[in-house]
Amino acid sequence: MPSIERRPFGRTGHNSSVTLFGAAALGSVTQAEADRTMELLMEYGVNHIDTAASYGRAEERLGPWMEKYRNDFFLATKTGERTYEKAREEIHRSLERMRVDNFDLIQLHNLGHPDDWEIALGENGALEAAIEARDEGLVRFIGVTGHGLNIPSFHYRSLQQFDFDSILLPWNYVMQQNSRYASDFERVVDLAKKRGIAIQTIKSITRGPWATEERSRATWYQPLEEQADIDRAVHWVLARGDVFLNTVGDIHVLPKVLDAASRFTGEAPNEEDMSKMLREEHMTSLFA
């Protein structure tokens, strides 16, 4: 089976597969389904897991695998708590769930609201819990994540406040068409690259919001389904060469994303093909 390219994950010293496993996909699956998913990831050489305390039962599903294969993966999780005490409790709970003594990366989850930002990065905030965990050897690095059109500017602000080791934010062909978002994205990416901060992207294969209440996938957005479309979307992101792609939150679509990544040759799809896919698939932004 073809393997997936690896790149330096910022200044961490770890060479991570360019597709990071978004473990939100394990949030509502059985352990047997999680086991098959983990086996597939290892077959493709994926060596970086990105999960969160709020991803359903994902951390629990990872536990049996981390007991055996902890050293084979760069392990990242997130806390959505904003205060020191609650974030500290959640970090320790995540350690217990995943049956590990430490993570590689703890991230402040979805930090894109002014009130949350002030609390989390202020006195007795979640950042203090993350720093304490790093000082105690429970984590090695600290990152920040977010969604929405305002998140690049919030990340830029966060990087002025603290020297985070990684950022995570949405990026896909549709979002590039939003000139304001694209400009803010490039600004924070440029700063991150200058500092050696790892850049993680999400929502690469988003088609748009679900049009009805009926959903055929575990994702909260409607993903692209055809392999050719997924190939274009994945290759378009990876061709930047300076970002990582977090995989889709559905274990049944995941194999197509891994297949696309394993066949990436370094070249981006041409603009005509991307524009055609945008029109024919009626692709729209998730964020207003």
pLDDT in tens, 49-65: 999 999 999 999 999 99
Answer whether residue 285 is part of any domain: no
Answer whether residue 287 is part of any domain: no
Answer whether residue 122 is part of any domain: yes
Answer whether residue 105 is part of any domain: yes
Answer whether residue 18 is part of any domain: yes
Q: Output the CA–CA distances (angstroms, integers) from residue 53 to 27, 93, 262, in the order listed.
A: 10, 8, 29
Answer whether residue 286 is part of any domain: no
**Joined tokens for residue 8:** 């330096």
74 alpha-carbon distance from chain centroid:
13
Please name the residues in contact with 23: beta carbons below 8 A apart, sequence gap of 6 or more: 49, 50, 51, 52, 55, 58, 59, 61, 62
Tell me the mean pLDDT per 10 residues along the chain, length 288: 90 98 96 97 97 96 97 98 98 98 97 95 98 98 96 97 97 94 97 98 85 70 87 96 94 95 92 88 79
Q: With contact defined as beta carbons under 8 Å apart, do 97 and 132 qualify?
A: no
pLDDT in tens, 218-277: 676 778 889 999 999 999 999 999 999 999 988 999 999 999 999 999 888 989 989 888
**What is the DSSP secondary structure assignment for residue 100, as one 8-state letter?**
-
Residue type, 50: D
**Joined tokens for residue 237:** 């992101």
Note the pLDDT of residue 182.
96
Q: Which of 33, 27, 12 is nearest to 78 (CA)?
A: 27
What CATH number is attached to the domain comprising 269? Answer: 3.20.20.100
Tell me if the pTM is above 0.85.
Answer: yes
Count of other CB atoms within 10 angstroms of residue 212: 6
Q: Show the domain range for 172.
A: 6-280
Answer whether residue 1 is part of any domain: no
Domains identified in the chain, total number: 1
Q: With contact defined as beta carbons under 8 Å apart, do 237 and 46 qualify?
A: no
Answer whether residue 79 is part of any domain: yes
